[in-house]
Structure formats: C-alpha cells, structure tokens
Structure 1
Amino acid sequence: MNRKWLVVIIVCSFLIGVGGTYSGITWIVPYWKNNTADNNTDAGQETEITSENTSLDKVAKAYDLIQNSYIEKVDESKLIQGAIQGMIGVLKDPYSVYMDKETAASFKDSMDSSFDGIGAQIAIEEGKLVIISPIKNSPAEKAGLKSKDEIINIDGKSVQGLDLYEASSKIRGKKGTVVKLEIRRNGLANPINVSVTRDEVPIMTVFSDVKKNAGQKIGYLEITSFSEGTAKDFTAELKYLEQQGIDGLIVDVRGNPGGMLLSVQEILGQLVTDKKPFVQIADREGNKNPYYSELKKSKAYPITVLIDEGSASASEILAAALKEVNGNTLIGVKTFGKGTVQQPVPMDDGSNIKLTMAKWLTPDGNWIHGKGIEPTIEVAQPAYFHAHTLQLEKDLVKDMNNEDVKIAQELLKGLGYGPGREDGYFDEQTERAVRAFQAMAKLPVTGKITVETSEKIMDTIIAAVQEEDNDLQLQVAIKSFNK
C-alpha cells in the first residue's frame, strides 16, 4: 500500500462511524447526513484531504524512514497505533482516546447487563485519574472508594501516561482477584491504599419505594445508571407508584455516572414537557441540535431530584432538564460537571477511536462542563458519609502519629465517641474513645485499634450510612412535599 494513502486513510477514518458516546452516554446519530448532495460530497472526501494536507507527506516519509532504516525491525501495526495515539495526544483532551482491539472489546462488554470488575466509573480530570462514582452495592463501594478519589497507582504501578481505557483495563479483572489501588483523597495529607476484590457487577439500575410523611405518599425512584433496560424499568416502577396514589416523586441520581442517551431521553419523555428542549448538542461551529420531549402536560404531582458530586453526564442532563424545563427542585450538592460529547469510530481491525466531537448544553443553553449543576436547596450529608476507609496492616496504639490514626479519629467522632483531637496523634482521649467503642461493640477492651476493631468501626459506619433516617438529603426531599 502507498504509505501516503495509508496515512490519509487513518485521518479519514475519524469521520466515518455512526455510533457514539454522549458524554458517557451511548447514542446513535449519523455524523454525515444521508442525502444526495452529501453522498456526492463524500465520494470526493479522500481526494480533498490528500490535496489540502500535503504536510501528511512528512508523516508518510517518517513512517517509511522508520520501517526501512531503523536499526531494529518495527511492527507496522505498532507504528500506526503510535501515530494515532500521537495525534490524539496533541489534543490534550482526556476524553479523546485510542483503544486497541482488546480494549475496545472490553469497552463494549461494559455495556452488558453484568461484568467482572470493581464497579466504579472513572474519568480523567486535569491529567488526574479520578473516580466519578462507585456503582451501588459494588465492590468499589463496599471497599470505601468515593467520588473524586484520585487513583495514583494500580497494583503498585503509576497510572501516569495511561489513558482512560488503559487504566480501566488494568483495574478490571476476573472475579475473585484483588486489585490494589493507591488513592489520593481530599482531606488526607498522605495517600491511602485500598484493596478491592473483583466480583460480578450486575447492572440493576432502578429501585423504587414509597415514603410516607405527614399523611402523604411520596414515590421514590433511584436510578443508578442509564443502561439499556433502565427506561423500561423506570416506566414500570413509575406506573406502579402512580397506582399507589403518590403525592410527589423523588428521582434520585446521586452517584449515577451516566449511561445511554436513549435511556435518559425515554425517561425525560415521561417527566418534562415540550416547551423547551431537554438537551442541546452543539458542534464545533456552534450549531445547536435540540432534543424535545413530546409531553404536553406536566405530572399532576411535584418532582424533586436528588443530586451529588457523583451525578454525571446523563444524570446531569436529567437534573438540568427537570430544573430548567419544569422548574423542579434539585436537592443535594453540586454535580460532577461533564458536558462533552464523544463519538467512537470503529476501525477495520477491531480497534476504536473515541473523539470529542461536540458538547451538550442544558435547555437554557448552559454548558456545565467542569462546573457542574448547583442544587436548588444545598444539603450536605453528615461527615461520616464521606468517611475515609480504614485498612490496617498493624495495630494503632497510644502515642502513634500517622494518617491511619487521623482516619480512625474522624470515624470515631462520626459515630459519636469523641476522640478529642483529629490530627493523627493517638492521645489518652483517643484511647478512651476506642475503649468506649470496643465496649459497645462487645470487643476486647484494650484501647488499641486492632484489625478487628478497625473492621468493626467500618461496619458500624456503613450501617449508619445505610440507615435511611441518617440520609439528610433524602429526609429534606421528603419533607419538601409538606403541604
């Protein structure tokens, strides 16, 4: 093959695909419009790029030079992959990536009903690999990983230089195996190590309930992600709630990292009216493509949305639409802030290029990327909801001074045991707090934080977080419907 044409084909292949990922949302939309004029234009596309981009000759020359003159024989496919990765790297866009055949297959598998891994959505922010949110009841959540945690090492190896999907492939693995993550977390001076046992992560995305308050029935629908069957499940659960005669509805997208555009579109089609677009897609020239619901009349009952820092992508589309179209209330804290559109383009060899091609805007035309969506009523959870994970390799005893002691002090305080100081120094007051906890937990009262004591502390924290009465955001939402 002529090397000049090989390079041209690589460049043209960016523009061919029709499947896409919409800011973490899978969508199907043709990049080129199918009409007669456009078909004629497409026929001459490669010739136009060849004639106008003569600088590609330099790329072809470099390719030939390396292939024919480098001291060692180089695999042709690796050179091509390197060229693509180099071009994408120049963009300095963490969401534009190249996936080889294996990584592309793994990415496709992640859209299935279940997969083996730790169950956490990750992203790259300002060059840092961060967790958007752990999936509900996943190994990641059980291990104490939290939204905005920065992953700095995977199994002892730095993540520096890895793109999103390279990092993801290293974190995922067979059920029963362990991945060790070194985490940098806001509020801690030093990184912490978290071991997560991989397991099957089922994608159960809709949970419903009826909450009762002051004689009212409040429908509750939690959406953990927007997957293939989410809209269908949402419709069925909403119908069931409405048959109960609900006086209001809470839609909970806290910790929801996003999903499929079609899914959130079908859900919004049941909740927001057609007076404004529920989302707008803006291309590089600023042209906007609005998406509308066909609903003419709002629900007879009020709707409140629960959001937090783990609500991203499709969750933000839903929250913004309900707020800006219907005027519904958002309760919680500011969302993650992801508003770009990526479109994956499959290559002939099974590899994939995912390129940022547009951005999405709220109904009022706001771009929330890097900013998030502010709640109507800001409510933070109790401090122990954000408690750090305590994983010990040795006992903590009086007069120690380290990060693990600081974490233990924060946890004990959250449970109401009053350790006194919270600076990481294990003093007499901290020892008394430990003894009190051990006595209540029916553990040997030693005043030392053993592995058994630390595990019991974490179990108690998890139980407190799962107790509905302790969920301040939910309680405020329920009471917001009071007549």
Structure 2
Amino acid sequence: MRRKFRTMTGIAVAFTAGAVAGPLLTSPVVQAWAQTSNREDTYKLLNLFGDVFERVRAEYVDPVNDRDAVENAINGMLQGLDPHSSYMNARNFRDMQVQTRGEFGGLGIEVSQEGGYVKVISPIDDTPAARAGVKPGDLITNLNGTSVQGMSLQDAVEQMRGERGTAIKLTIRREGTPAPIELNLTREVIRPQVVRSRLEGNDVAYIRLTSFNEQTDAGMRKALQQLRQQASGGLKGIILDLRNNPGGLLDQAIQVSDDFIDQGEIVSTRARRPEDSQRWNARAGDIAQGLPIVVLTNAGSASASEIVAGALQDHRRAVVLGVRSFGKGSVQTVMPLPGNGALRLTTARYYTPSGRSIQATGIEPDVEVLAQRQDTAVRDREADLRRALRHEDTTPQHPVAPLPPLNLPQGLLDRIQHTPAENAPAFDPTKPETDFQLQQALVLVRGMGTPQAAPAPQPPQQRRASNL
C-alpha cells in the first residue's frame, strides 16, 4: 500500500460533518464538484441522499446515530468501487498507523477469534505474553475480569494494547487444564517480528518476510549480515520467503528490491491522470554481493510482496519458485480527513519493470512447485473478489518487454521436483525438512552457483512512456 497522505476535501467531508439537504446543496465545495462533474442530475442525487438520511433518522424503528449512518453510507459508496477502497474512522485510522509503524504498547500476542473468545495464534518471542507462559491455542476468556463474549476482536485487541508499564489481567482457558489460568502482565513496547531468518545447511541464508512495515528493510539487512557472519564457509545463496505475506508499505517493497538490484526500474504506477503516474529506479549496490537468490511465493503473496517478486524476476536477479501469487496490483492512497479518520482510495495500478500489470494476474513463478500433492484448500485470489479491478497490461503507449532467459546451469531444472511424493511427510512449520517448496528452493539455489561479474540482462528501457 502506498502511503500518500493528502488533505481530503469535497463531498465526503460535508457528509461526515453532518450536513444534509439544504446545507449540503449550498456548500461551495459541492457546487464546484457538481459543475466539474458535468452531470445535470448531481443535485437530484444529493437531494436523494438527504431525503433518505432524514427518513432514516425520523422513522427507523430504533434511534439512529447520525455519525454511524453517514459512515455506513460512505463505506457503502467506497466498497462499491473495488475490494480495497474503504473509509476508516478515527480509531481504525490510528490502528492502521500503529500497524505500519511496526511497534506498539501491548502484550505480544498474535490472536484471532473463535467461539466468541480470543484465541492465541502465537506469542511473540521475548514479550510479556511469552515470558508469562501464554501458549498457542490458549483461549482468552476475560480481560481484567470482564468477559470477552460479545466483544469484537478489534475491541479486545484495543483493550490489550496500551501504554508501556500499565498492567492487565488475562483469564485463559487451556486445553487439558481444568481450572482457568489467571495471568497478570505489564505492557511493553512490542515490535512484531516481520523478519525471520536462519541458516540452511550452513551455506544458504533463509529470510522470511511476513509483512512490509517500517521495520522490514532494516530487519532484512540486519538478518543477512548476521547470517553472513554465521556461515563459516561463506554463503552460497539466499532464499527470500514471501509466502503468505499480505504486503504493506510501498516504500519498504521498493527498498527491499533496491537492496538486490544494482540498476534499472523497480516498479511503476499508472494513475487515472498520466501526470500522476510514477516510477522508482534502483540505486547502485547489491547487499547480496551477487549471490544467487530464490524467491518463494504462493497464493497468499500479495501487493508489496508481488512488487518485490516481480522486480527481482524481471531483472533476472532472482528465480521465483512456488505458485502464482495473489494478484493485488492496485495502489491505495490514504487521505486523512481531519477529525474524521481517513479515506483509503484506489488511485493507480502497479507495473513490474517489464511493463506487466500485477492486477488480477499476479506473478507467475519461473519454477512451479506445489506445497502439497493435493491442495484441498480453496483460496481466493484478487480476480475472485467482487468488483476487483480489471487487468490492464499492453497498450501502444506501454508495451510489455519479453523477459530475458533464465540462463540456469544445464540440467538444473531437471533436478527440481514439482509435486511432493505420495509418501511425503505432512508439513510441520517447526520442521523445515517437511517444507517441500523450501527443499526444492535449496536444490535450486545451491545449483545456481555464484554468478559471473558481468551484469545480468536488463529489460529494455524503451518499454515505458515518457510521462512515467
């Protein structure tokens, strides 16, 4: 997601200010909007909204909160555009800012909701929750003595977060433990672990990025430096795992890509107005120092993950292995509405360096490898979502350049297995040897060898229109 904060004026501000009917129609902002829209029925439509709003206020069976009604109307308007445009009230906007900063005051628990309770997915290492003995699968039933039944997950998370040094009591129900467990915890500054890393066989750096927040690039750089120091015989390659990474900040995706690409385009966007389109180019330098890279993707790799995978693939800086990614190739601009949260509006599409649109198609892997022999889980991609933006790729102004060949050692691809064997062990996240895609990535990256000093082939530079 692209963070481009603007001051939003116009009809949405008039709505959220509570203006209806007469005041709405006399607003200079609305009048200007009506004139530029070239629609003769603009005033009729605004009168329709005001009429419906007043009837709801006066005649609905229960009293209606004006702000709730208007916010629901705004959300309906935005959600009718595409799956990713929405209105965020002040609380949701604050939560989004917290998530993108990558740190907050809290307990250090990844949670979901189950049976009306808050279920612990995993405690984050070295946090109050982990030190207190919170375990995956625990059900949080009470917060400070108040039942979470009937409480939304968002409300529960908001109660567990708070200022550093403040205390909270959790009541936990754990399978196999007859009596409830009560834990008194003190909140600390939590920095979710968006980068996980380890050495595979003492010669391959495995780096997993779980999302793209403000900590991602710095965390990845630090992880690679540490793994390089740990590899006594030197690194032979890098595996960058972007599976199930839903994306995040555009600037972090650009920085991560730039870390490995020495020159050329990283990503571009095309907006409704050509003058709003943008392009980002790499700066000189490769933190991997030319080591072979394999990028892992799956249907859960979206948005910023697809920007990284697409950039490295187009420059032939990495080989993408796995299955086709999610296909979210749209830019959401966050526009603050002073005193009323923010508007998240889709304003452009992403394009890879060769000119390919990510939207509704995703990134096709160079080497397709299934995670399991029979994938019984049905997982929607962007193209399956209601009102998803259409795919737009080749135009006379924006031709798509063919990708250079992979140029892998002869016979290497023949060594890659594309489907697990019938007797393959079930995947266990704690046992890397059961991760079939990872094991095939290790075969591939070790077989690629150290590249030559000559630069990798670059996609043609004339593929872009001059206004980008």
Q: Deviations over 1:196-249 (max 9, x none)?
A: xxx998510112222227xxx222222111121121121122223344421211
The answer to whether the 8 A contact 1:220-1:249 is kept is: yes
Where does residue 432 of structure 2 map in the other structure?
468
Q: The residue matched to 1:466 in structure 2 has which SS?
A: coil
Give the deviation of 1:317 after TM superposition: 0.8
- Is 1:227–2:191 an aligned residue pair? no
Which residue of structure 1 aligns with residue 398 of structure 2?
Answer: none
Q: Give deviations 1:18-74, integer Å, cap 9, x for gaps.
A: xxx33xxxx347699xxxxxxxxxxx9876424334533224434554576744786
Kept in 1, the 8 Å contact 2:261–2:317? The answer is no
> Deviation per CA, 1:145-167, whole angstroms, max 9, x where unpaired?
xxxxxxxxxx999xxxxxxxxx9
Q: 1:62 to 1:381 in 2, by over 3 A?
A: closer
| C-alpha distance 58-282 of structure 1, shift in aligned 2 (>3 A) | same
Q: Contact conserved, 1:383 with 1:414, CA < 8 A, in 2? A: no
Mapped contact 2:124–2:192 kept (Cα < 8 A): no
Q: Is the alpha carbon distance of 1:52 and 1:228 closer, same or farther for their aligned partners in structure 2, counting shifts above 3 Å?
A: closer
User: What is the DSSP-based 3-state SS (H/G/I as helix, E as strand, rest coil) of the residue aligned with 1:367?
Assistant: coil
Name the structure 1 match of 2:14: none
How far 1:340 moved relative to its partner? 0.7
Q: Aligned letter for 2:305? A: S
Which residue is equivalent to 1:270?
Answer: 259
How far apart are the structure 2 equivalents of 1:339 and 1:168?
28
| Uncovered stretches (5+) of structure 2, i.e. residues with no partner | 9-27, 113-120, 130-134, 138-147, 161-169, 173-184, 379-421, 450-468
Q: Which residue does the alignment assign to 2:403?
A: none
The aligned residue for residue 291 of structure 1 is 280
286-295 vs 252-261, greater mean Cα deviation: 286-295
| Distance in 1 separating the partners of 2:341 and 2:5 | 20
Is the alpha carbon distance of 1:414 and 1:285 closer, same or farther for their aligned partners in structure 2, counting shifts above 3 Å?
farther
1:349 and 2:339 matched: yes
RMSD of aligned Cα (Å): 4.4
Q: Given that residues 108 and 123 in structure 2 are in contact (C-alpha distance below 8 angstroms), is that contact kept between their aligned partners in structure 1?
A: no
* 1:238 corresponding residue in structure 2: 224
- By how many angstroms is 1:477 displaced? 1.5
Provide the C-alpha distance between the structure 2 equivalents of 1:365 and 1:168, rounded to a whole number of angstroms: 40
- The whole-number CA distance in structure 2 between the counterparts of 1:136 and 1:310 is 22
More helix by share: 1
2:324 is paired with a residue whose SS is: coil
Q: What residue number does 2:182 align with?
A: none
Structure 1 residues 211 and 60: CA distance shift in structure 2, 3 A: closer
In 2, are the aligned partners of 1:135 and 1:256 still within 8 Å (CA)?
A: no
Q: Report whether the alignment pairs 1:310 with 2:300.
A: yes
Cα distance in 2, alignment partners of residues 62 and 290 from structure 1: 42
Partner of 1:269, secondary structure, is helix
- Mapping of residues 61-460 of structure 1, within 5 Å: 61-62=47-48, 65=51, 70-71=58-59, 76-78=66-68, 80-91=70-81, 93-111=82-100, 112-114=102-104, 119=110, 169=154, 174=159, 203-212=192-201, 217-243=203-229, 244=231, 245-275=234-264, 277-285=265-273, 288-295=277-284, 299-382=289-372
CA 1:156–1:77: 2 relative to 1, 3 Å? closer
| Contact 2:211 2:245 survives alignment (8 Å) | yes
Q: Distance in 1 between matches of 2:7 and 2:50?
A: 33
Q: Distance in 2 between matches of 1:314 and 1:338?
A: 9
Deviations 1:111-131 (Å, cap 9, x if unpaired)? 34256798489xxxxxxxxxx
Aligned-pair CA distance for 1:255 = 1.7
Q: Distance in 2 between matches of 1:349 and 1:49?
A: 22
Q: TM-score, normalised by structure 2?
A: 0.58
Query: How many Å apart are 1:320 and its aligned residue?
Result: 0.8
Aligned residue identity for 2:370 = A
How big is the shift at 1:334? 1.5
- The answer as to whether partners of 1:88 and 1:96 remain within 8 angstroms in 2 is yes
- Which amino acid is the alignment partner of residue 431 of structure 2? E
Q: Is the 8 A contact 1:84 1:98 kept in 2?
A: yes
In structure 1, stretches of 5+ residues that fail to align are 1-20, 33-43, 122-133, 144-154, 158-166, 179-198, 389-412, 417-460
Indicate conservation of the 8 Å contact 2:122/2:136, yes or no: no
